Amino acid sequence: MPVTKRDYYEILGVKKGASVDEIKRAYRTMAMKHHPDRVGAEHKKEAEERFKEISEAYAVLTDSKKRSVYDQYGHAGFDQRYSTEDIFRGADFSSIFEDLGFGGSIFEDLFGGSGFFGMGREGGRGSRGSDLEVQLPLSFEEAARGVAKTVTVPRHELCSECRGEGGERASCPSCKGAGQIRQSAGFMVIARTCPRCGGHGSVVKKACSHCRGQGRVRVERQLEVKVPPGVESGMRLRLSGEGEPGTRGRGDLYVYLSVDPHSIFQREGANLLIDCPITITQASLGAEIEVPSLNGRISMKVPAGTQSGTVFRVRGKGLPDVRDGRPGDLLVRAIVETPTRLNGSQRRLMEELERALAEEAHPVRRSFLEKLKQLVR
């Protein structure tokens, strides 16, 4: 049976409307209590699981986007949208860990050495570059058929002159190249990131003139984005390795799509819906009419006696499903248009037609009048 995950607010012991500061204070208290390095060997496994749980809750509830999704959909909907990697990406634990005297290596120990947790130091040892986001507007036709578009992405890249080193480097005199400073506190040895070198283990001795010792420069890159057919607004595409640089590789670029509405078509999943006006004569006698589709006009038969609001389905003339490419349908909703601004001759003809039509020609109206008679008795 699947494991039922506990509520994130319950895990941290805060109310649903808690502020970010309240959540940070709660996490700080629980991290001190449940950190695996602070318990005996017999309780270490239990502490590790608890520490994972509170860290996941903290990562979600301190991120406004993730928290909004969780509040709206709960674990069931949230877990469909975010992987473990997504949950921890961008979460900043460094300030809390440094205050408490913990090293960031706890995440490597508990989560298999992955570098995607974003410990809040872009240049830190073992960190992956942060992700970037861009918006990409599309016309309705581009989204329907698929398109290749070019986006401009402002980002940092490693300096070509110093290869990202920032210049000539020497071993850090504070940590002697270890990247961490260890301090004894009673029976415990506490390791914290070296504040002087930021965990590199080395410092810049002579700064690179091109990047001024930063190790990277700001550039604008033109990237091609291949948009598959059938996308819709709110979807995102991921370009792996096109984000910011880090010591464990680049982050990703997320392209968020925005599709313009169409003047005729309305979208219902992979189906297209159009409202097609027809005349009273066409609705009464039946007719063959032309309706628009994404690939041009097509003919469609309207049977005699068609009522306003009737929807006709034309198979395979909708949008391709973005997941498997299978086409949806074209849904044509007939809207019977009542003529307006009749001249005298037209009005007389309509009155003559009304007198000529028997009640059998209006079964819906006749049924309504019979029900009305029963109500007023």
- If asked whether residues 108 and 145 sit together in one domain, one would say no
The pLDDT of residue 122 is 37
CA distance 98 to 9: 24
Domain that holds residue 52: 1-120
CATH number for 43:
1.10.287.110
The residue out of 120, 143, 177 marking a domain boundary is 120
The pLDDT of residue 100 is 54
- If asked whether residues 272 and 244 sit together in one domain, one would say no
CA distance 256 to 136: 6
- If asked whether residues 223 and 329 sit together in one domain, one would say no
**Cβ atoms within 10 Å of 127's Cβ, excluding its own:** 24
Q: How many domains does the chain have?
A: 4
2: left (phi over 0), alpha (psi -120 to 50) or beta: beta
CB 257 within 8 A of CB 248: no
- If asked whether residues 116 and 33 sit together in one domain, one would say yes
CA distance 257 to 267: 16
pLDDT tens readout for residues 206-259? 888 888 888 888 899 999 999 999 999 989 999 988 998 876 778 899 999 999
Place of tokens 């016309």: 139
- If asked whether residues 273 and 322 sit together in one domain, one would say yes
**Interstrand relation of 253-259 and 236-239 (parallel, antiparallel or unpaired):** antiparallel
The pLDDT of residue 116 is 36
The pLDDT of residue 246 is 75
pLDDT tens readout for residues 11-38? 999 999 999 989 998 988 888 887 776 6
The pLDDT of residue 124 is 39
**Interstrand relation of 330-337 and 271-279 (parallel, antiparallel or unpaired):** parallel
Place of tokens 């270890």: 178
Q: What is the largest CA-CA distance in the chain?
A: 106
**Cβ atoms within 10 Å of 178's Cβ, excluding its own:** 16
The pLDDT of residue 344 is 95
CA distance 214 to 166: 5
- If asked whether residues 192 and 113 sit together in one domain, one would say no
CATH number for 182:
2.10.230.10
Q: What backbone torsions phi and psi does residue 257 show, to the nearest 5 degrees? A: -95, 140
- If asked whether residues 149 and 33 sit together in one domain, one would say no
CA distance 117 to 246: 12
The pLDDT of residue 314 is 96
* Axis crossing angle, helix 44-61 with helix 64-81, rounded to the nearest 10: 120
- If asked whether residues 156 and 171 sit together in one domain, one would say no
Residue ranges for the chain with pLDDT beneath 70: 1-4, 37-41, 85, 90, 92-127, 184-189, 247, 376-377
CATH number for 299:
2.60.260.20
- If asked whether residues 257 and 306 sit together in one domain, one would say no
The pLDDT of residue 237 is 93
- If asked whether residues 2 and 56 sit together in one domain, one would say yes
- If asked whether residues 236 and 150 sit together in one domain, one would say yes
- If asked whether residues 324 and 358 sit together in one domain, one would say yes
The pLDDT of residue 113 is 40
Token code pair at residue 130: 């942060």
